[in-house]
């Protein structure tokens, strides 16, 4: 009986370590080290923080650098979670592009804050950043859409959902319902989000700047949203019906 209990306990630790690894890349290692301490949660917090600091120093040797996480500047993380979970690492080229893009957005529309969502992990290509299909090499970045209040005033620090994803813009879809797809409509969630209209002027400017940037190879956004904003271009693509919807964020890749 004791062996069975111990086996279940260690299986639970293994599952937790795998889950933390998939979510944060280094969290699983931090948990496994914390198992050697009596106060595991405290040990985990300390070890995870230490590994996070070490990651900042080591990631450049893997060709990755962090996007800004601070509370100021034209480019910011939409949520502290993305930085805490190490999902904000990109190549130096993509970081430079994002910073330049955010400054240009602020120049054309003073007071604009561009918010980053998921980017990539700090180590190793082809390590999956779930639930994304392609965020595995530091060359992809999701940007939050821009929103206004009911009077049309820009809300520079706000999105409709707490994490920037899953608050979809209404529009026709070319995709039929199908199994084994990451295209979630999440209809039950939509009624929970605050009524913040899309800032069409800023979002259209963002799409045009990115479409015309030679460093961008692909820009994913739902066709109905591109049509609504009057933006076209060879780099503007449809991500396909089995990938997540892209009318809640903008996906760019080098």
pLDDT tens, residue by residue, 111-158: 999 999 999 999 988 888 988 888 889 999 999 999 999 888 889 889
**10 Å Cβ neighbour count for 114?**
24
pLDDT at 9 over 80: no
Average pLDDT over residues 50-78: 94
At residue 26, the pLDDT reads 93
pLDDT at 5 over 60: no
Rg (CA), the chain: 20
Q: Where are the domains of the chain?
A: 2-61, 63-253
At residue 7, the pLDDT reads 67
Query: SS3 letters for the chain?
Result: CHHHHHHHHHHHHHHHHHHHHHHHCCHHHHHHHHCCCCCHHHHHHHHHHHHHHHHHHHHHHHCCEECCCCCCCCEEECCHHHHHCCCCEECHHHHHHHHHHHHHHHHHCCCCCEEECCCCCCCCCCCCCCCCCCCCCCCEEEEECCEECCCCCECCCCCCCCCCCCCCCCCCCCCCCCCCCCCCCCHHHHCCCCCCCECHHHHHHHHHHHHCCCCCCEEECCHHHHHHHCCCCCCEECCCCCCCCCCCEEEEEC
pLDDT at 47 over 80: yes
pTM exceeds 0.85, yes or no: yes
Q: Domain spanning 63-253: which CATH class is it, in words?
A: alpha beta
pLDDT at 68 over 80: yes
At residue 1, the pLDDT reads 54
Chain-wide mean pLDDT for the chain? 90
Pairwise pLDDT comparison (176 vs 50), residue with the higher score:
50
pLDDT tens, residue by residue, 180-191: 777 888 888 999
Q: Among 70-74, 102-106, 194-198, name the one with the lowest average pLDDT.
A: 70-74
Q: How confident is the model at residue 225 (pLDDT cuts 50, 70, 90)?
A: very high
């Amino acid at each position: 009986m004791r062996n069975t209990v111990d086996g279940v306990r260690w299986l639970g630790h293994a599952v937790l370590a795998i889950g933390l690894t998939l979510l944060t890349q280094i969290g699983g290692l931090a948990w496994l080290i914390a198992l050697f301490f009596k106060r595991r949660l405290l040990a985990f917090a300390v070890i995870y923080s230490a590994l996070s600091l070490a990651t900042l120093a080591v990631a450049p040797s893997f060709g990755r650098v962090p996007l800004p996480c601070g509370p100021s500047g034209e480019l910011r993380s939409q949520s502290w979670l993305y930085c805490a979970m190490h999902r904000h690492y990109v190549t130096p080229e993509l970081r430079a592009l994002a910073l330049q893009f955010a400054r240009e957005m602020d120049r054309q529309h003073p007071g604009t804050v561009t918010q980053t969502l998921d980017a990539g992990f700090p180590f190793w290509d082809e390590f999956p950043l779930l639930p994304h299909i392609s965020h595995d090499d530091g060359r992809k970045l999701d940007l939050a859409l821009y929103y206004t209040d009911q009077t049309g005033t820009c809300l520079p620090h706000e999105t409709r959902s707490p994490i920037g994803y899953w608050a979809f813009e209404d529009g026709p879809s070319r995709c039929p319902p199908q199994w084994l797809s990451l295209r979630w409509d999440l209809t039950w969630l939509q009624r929970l989000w605050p009524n913040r209209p899309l800032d069409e002027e800023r979002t259209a400017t963002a799409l045009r700047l990115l479409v015309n940037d030679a460093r961008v190879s692909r820009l994913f956004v739902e066709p109905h949203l591109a049509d609504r904003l009057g933006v076209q271009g060879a780099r503007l693509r449809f991500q396909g019906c089995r990938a997540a919807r892209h009318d809640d964020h903008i996906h760019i890749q080098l």
